[in-house]
Amino acid sequence: MKYNQNFKIMQITDKTLVIGVDIAKKIHYARAFDWRGIELDRTISFKANSTGFSEFMEWAKKTAEKNGK
């Protein structure tokens, strides 16, 4: 199925947690927003390895839960 941009945008609701991740060689940074672009939590940094990814996932889950996403 081919998704166009409007279809993708329509999938974002007030229950959607949007996370932006800046990928780098050693350290990544992530920010969480609601569907309107309002920042929901502090920016985090995490190492580019499996431990860092686990920390990122835990942060994302806590942020989603805390904000009802």
Q: What does pLDDT average to in each consecutive run of 10 residues of the chain (69 residues)?
A: 80 93 97 95 97 98 96
* 45 alpha-carbon distance from chain centroid: 12
Q: What local confidence, expressed as pLDDT, does residue 1 receive?
A: 59
| Residue 68 structure tokens | 């009802």
Where are the domains positioned within the chain? 2-67
Q: What local confidence, expressed as pLDDT, does residue 7 receive?
A: 87
**What pTM did the predictor assign?**
0.82
Q: What is the DSSP letter of 68?
A: T
| Residue 18 structure tokens | 């949007």
